Amino acid sequence: MFSARKLSGVCRAIRFHHFRSHSVSRISPNLAFVPACLPPDPVEVEELQRFVSNSKRLFVMTGAGISTESGIPDYRSEGVGLYARTDRRPIQHAEFVRSASARQRYWARNFVGWPQFSSHQPNTAHLVLRDWEKLGKLHWLVTQNVDALHTKAGSQRMTELHGCTHRVFCLACGDQILRSELQERFEALNPTWKAEAFGVAPDGDVFLTDEQVRNFQVPACSKCGGILKPDVTFFGDTVSREKVNFVHQRLAESDSMLVAGSSMQVYSGYRFALAAWEKKLPIAILNIGPTRLDHFASLKLNSRCGELLPLIVVHDPTR
């Protein structure tokens, strides 16, 4: 279900093939939501180069910090993350499932934010990891992000641990549709509804008042009339056992782990770093600010992913 061979048609529909030919040097970063940090230290660059060169089957886990350079805010970064800028918190799974008003509020905000959120494009870091996969260096990529940027970049040996906002499914019958298709249904149901957004959140949510969302109409599943939900793991929900087992299998096949752009505060991702540590795999962390793994990492780098990763040389084994 989660292997590259079995990518669904929905996933294929959101892959932007033209990114495969882009030179990573042509992507300019958007630093609005990136915490301040010093340029990469040459010694640290050399250390990461040695780490990557010594790895034959690299397991990579990415978090929100890899997408901040694409203009998508994260939750926890000092000064610029959602939690630092506002008292807003993401919707909880139980609230979404049990409350029609909560779903109305969520979808109204998501409707307004979707055009901008869905237009974000991969940055240099995404493209570098795609290239490492092509060169046989990256064995498997696990992203905690739901923004589809790794898919847009062309990564295939990948698991979206928390799902993807570009897909929507019915809680009753399981039917799956593209989020872009749902946007068209929202527009048809709300032809005169308009709202001005105040701020943006990491998952495409924007900030609207209760008054603004009051008359927003939410469609039901076109097949069974059930509740439509984005194909993501909301806070308070759990990742499926099948997916967790699959990722553990890919980790067992790997010889080292690189964490890029994540503080690893959420257990659903942290458990794989714990497993890597228990297997005595070397672990490197590339993240601005402290992480939950710092005490047992082999290497910790405090730099932008899009600034440091392109400096690492990975050779084509066929040349």
Tell me which residues are annotated as active site.
162
Q: Are 91 and 101 in contact (CB under 8 A)?
A: no
Query: Is there a binding annotation on residue 306?
Result: no
Query: Is there a binding annotation on residue 291?
Result: no
Query: Is there a binding annotation on residue 199?
Result: no
Query: Is there a binding annotation on residue 69?
Result: yes
- Kindly write down the DSSP assignment for every residue of the chain, as one continuous string: --SGGG--HHHHHT--GGGGG--GGGPPPB-TTSPP-PPPPHHHHHHHHHHHHH-SSEEEEE-GGGTTTBT---SS-TTTSHHHH-S--PPBHHHHHH-HHHHHHHHHHHHHHHHHHHH----HHHHHHHHHHHTT-EEEEEE---S-HHHHHT--SEEETTEEEEEEEETTT--EEEHHHHHHHHHHH-TT-------B-TTS-B---HHHHTT---PPPTTT---EEEEE--BT----HHHHHHHHHHHHT-SEEEEES----SHHHHHHHHHHHHTT--EEEE-SS--TTGGG-SEEE-S-HHHHGGGS----TT-
Query: Is there a binding annotation on residue 236?
Result: no
Query: Is there a binding annotation on residue 213?
Result: no
Query: Is there a binding annotation on residue 261?
Result: yes
Interior CA angle at 168 toward 165 and 170, to 5°? 145
Query: Is there a binding annotation on residue 144?
Result: yes
Query: Is there a binding annotation on residue 145?
Result: yes
Query: Is there a binding annotation on residue 72?
Result: yes
Query: Is there a binding annotation on residue 173?
Result: yes
Query: Is there a binding annotation on residue 305?
Result: yes
Query: Is there a binding annotation on residue 146?
Result: yes
Residue 205 amino acid letter = D
Query: Is there a binding annotation on residue 82?
Result: yes
Please give the distance of CA 226 from its chain centroid, rounded to a whole number. Answer: 27
Query: Is there a binding annotation on residue 81?
Result: yes
Known binding-site residue numbers for NAD(+): 63-83, 144-147, 261-263, 287-289, 305
Known binding-site residue numbers: 63-83, 144-147, 170, 173, 221, 224, 261-263, 287-289, 305
Known binding-site residue numbers for Zn(2+): 170, 173, 221, 224
